[in-house]
Structure 1
Amino acid sequence: MAEPAPMSDERRFVRRVLIVLGLTTLVILAWQLRTLLLMLFGAIVVATVFRAFADRIEKLVRCRQGIAIVVSIAIGLAIIIGLVALFGSHVVQQVALLRETLPAAWKTVEARLGDVGLGEQVKHLAQSIKAPGGSSFSAFAATVLSIGSGIADVIVVIVAGIFLATQPRFYLTGAVKLIPPGKRHLALEAITESETALRLWLRGQLIAMVAVGLLTGIGLWYLGMPSALTLGLLAGVLEFIPFIGPILSMVPAVLLALAVSPDLALWVLLLYFLVQQFEGYLLTPLVQQYAVDLPGVVLLFSLIAFGALFGTLGVILAAPLTVVSYVLVKRLYVIETLHTPTPIPGEDVAHHTSSKA
């Protein structure tokens, strides 16, 4: 009767080994499919935008939820198609102009800096960022201007976001079924709280992107800058990326201005500085009701971490990924595991909004 014990221990050991191997395989598979997983998260962000807009339509018009979602998607697609039809050809022309003028502008900048004795330092800096097979600035300009080269991926993300927005309960139920029954209620609460925080962050971010894009475009047009529309659109889009987005949008504008005159470059620098000051000190407090208060250090290091792990796509989606991760860590670890009360980002705003409604 004492023989089965070793067999039981052996089976337990084999089971643990199989679990470790299975988890390791899942981690390796997830790493290999990391780009696909990030595109899936991008689709979730798109679906969240459509769903938030649909909820607003449902409250204003008092229609059924399905109709509100269809109207939301139709309006969103109509806005995208309308913008492409109205400004698409003009933006393409300005992008082509930027491709032609930015390398020449860089050479002009090198010449101007060489006149003041900084030519060698600039050449060493250019060599340090030079990519194989091309000039330093050509590689940099190609990187900056290749934002529109992922049109196919964007279309896939938008289409997937439409599917998620039209049947959210179906996909949510399927995802929750993958979790052990005892934890499904907790997982559903964590997902709901993450969606609430993501919605609030997206609302505030959309307002900031529109304001920054308009102010930058109008300011550059007033200063007489070439490609003002494209540069303003670039500033608005890159506002989605915290910290480095405004810097990336400023670089081509300053280089083009330097090719014209140093005075114009100073005015352009001042314009971008004033727009960021307006966004940080005036606009952000006004939209604070929609904002999710994330610690700046957390957002900064999350940007670096997601960029190192996932590359450019990780940098683009770093902020919404941080919002969702921040909520999940607080809900599933700090509150549920450590039993420590802590506020959930966007929780008070959501309760305030629901009580007003």
Structure 2
Amino acid sequence: MRDPATRRELKKAVVWFGVGGAVALLVLLIQPLLIIFAGLVFASMLEGGVRLLGKVLPIGRGWRLLIVVLLTVAFIVVTVYQTGAGIAIQFAQLQATLLIQAERLSVWASGQGIMPGMADLKDIMQQALGSVGRLTSWVGTALGALTTIFMILVIGLFVAIEPRIYEQGLQWMVPTDFRGEFALTFDRMSRQLRRLLAGRLLGMAIEGVMTWIALMIAGVPMAMVLGIITGMLAFIPNVGAIVSGSLMIAVGFSAGLHTGIAAIVVYVLIQTFDGYVVIPMVARRTVELPPALTLSMQILASTLFGVLGLMLADPMTAMIKVALERNSQRTAEEDEEAGADTGG
């Protein structure tokens, strides 16, 4: 052990074992880490509401946060109280309708020779709509999902109450020489995350309300619950639009051919309006992510982390993008300083 070469190799071995242990620990704790990250995302939503309210109400931050929380709770309570029973019935009808439509599609596919049997297509439909099935059951009675949501809300609320304490705590975990750079990068990531979430919430509200009204005018059954699902799935770019559109069209054709065609028209019009009006309007004021990059991250996150990873893929991508941009900027600044010193 007194040999310097032995100590150097031992340090390398310890580093490699530490990296391996960190990866194994990350795999074991990925679900709690995702819950914590979701809590931070919710805290960013609250912080965005606090900052927006501060533009019209010159009062303390604590009072503004209290107003935002009370308004959020009041909106949820009033919505559930006014439409809770109807939504529960429509969710049950939606699940039954999707099963019937899947069976009809399997019979048609078997008759056309596309599938060798009814069971094959039915299994495919169950896998494709697995996330939707989990969504409907989650909204209904899943105790585990409710516990997860409660923990996310509590973490987000605590972080939103005193964000500086947690930010300083993270800085204490970083070496002293890098704390300034970490604080700058963290501030930029937080700002971009607030902008991204503000744009997502605006798009969710617009798309959900428009879908509800348009489907109700077109006579599509369960317009309210389809509008709610469309608004919720709008938080997930690309994938959410495909899933909500599939549900909308399936429910439309369950009521007849004309209603199904009307559902298709509504879906195309809303997605066109969202793609050419809402998304560009939001992207000008928020972080803009390339669609291929977002979809790739959604595939990776959903494969590795499940439904929660799919929902958080967009915020994670935005934060990683900001961190990489800051790293490139810092490297360019260091190269410029090195070039100036060499030239001098």
User: Please, what TM-score do these two structures have when normalized by structure 2?
Assistant: 0.88
Contact 1:69 1:166 in 2 (8 A): yes
- Structure 1: how far apart are the matches of 2:193 and 2:39? 13
Contact 2:211 2:227 in 1 (8 A): yes
Structure 2 unaligned segments of length 5 or more: list them. Answer: 336-344
- Structure 2: how far apart are the matches of 1:137 and 1:314? 17
Contact 2:220 2:255 in 1 (8 A): no
Contact 2:301 2:309 in 1 (8 A): yes
- Structure 1: how far apart are the matches of 2:334 and 2:255? 59
The residue that corresponds to 1:51 in the other structure is: 47
The residue that corresponds to 2:159 in the other structure is: 164
Question: What is the identity percentage for the equivalent residue pairs of Structure 1 and Structure 2?
Answer: 25
Letter in 2 for 1:335: Q
Q: CA RMSD in A?
A: 2.5
Distance 1:122 1:293, change over 3 A: farther
Letter in 2 for 1:104: I
Runs (4 or more) in structure 1 with deviation over 6 Å come to none
Write the deviation string for residues 281-334 of structure 1: whole angstroms up to 9, x where unpaired.
0222333443211122221211112122212111111111111111111113x2
Distance 1:18 1:188, change over 3 A: same
Choose the corresponding residue for 1:281, options 270, 276, 282. 276
The residue that corresponds to 1:186 in the other structure is: 181
- Structure 2: how far apart are the matches of 1:295 and 1:100? 37
Q: How does 1:326-345 map to 2 (within 5 A)?
A: 326-332=321-327, 334-337=328-331, 339=333
- Structure 1: how far apart are the matches of 2:217 and 2:108? 25
Distance 1:269 1:190, change over 3 A: same
Choose the corresponding residue for 1:12, options 8, 13, 22. 8
Q: How does 1:1-357 map to 2 (within 5 A)?
A: 7-111=3-107, 117=112, 120=115, 123=118, 126=121, 129=124, 142-148=133-139, 149=142, 150-332=145-327, 334-337=328-331, 339=333
Letter in 1 for 2:330: E
Distance 1:339 1:232, change over 3 A: same
- Stretch moving more, 211-220 or 9-18: 9-18
- Structure 2: how far apart are the matches of 1:44 and 1:184? 20
Structure 1 unaligned segments of length 5 or more: list them. Answer: 342-357
Distance 1:139 1:314, change over 3 A: closer
- Structure 2: how far apart are the matches of 1:260 and 1:270? 15
Contact 1:109 1:258 in 2 (8 A): no
Letter in 1 for 2:310: V
User: Please, what TM-score do these two structures have when normalized by structure 1?
Assistant: 0.85
- Structure 2: how far apart are the matches of 1:216 and 1:118? 35
Contact 1:109 1:259 in 2 (8 A): no
TM-aligned CA deviation for residue 12 of structure 1? 2.3
TM-aligned CA deviation for residue 85 of structure 1? 2.0
- Structure 2: how far apart are the matches of 1:253 and 1:157? 30
- Structure 1: how far apart are the matches of 2:230 and 2:38? 20
- Structure 2: how far apart are the matches of 1:14 and 1:138? 51
Contact 2:102 2:125 in 1 (8 A): no
| Number of residues of Structure 1 aligned to a counterpart in Structure 2 | 331
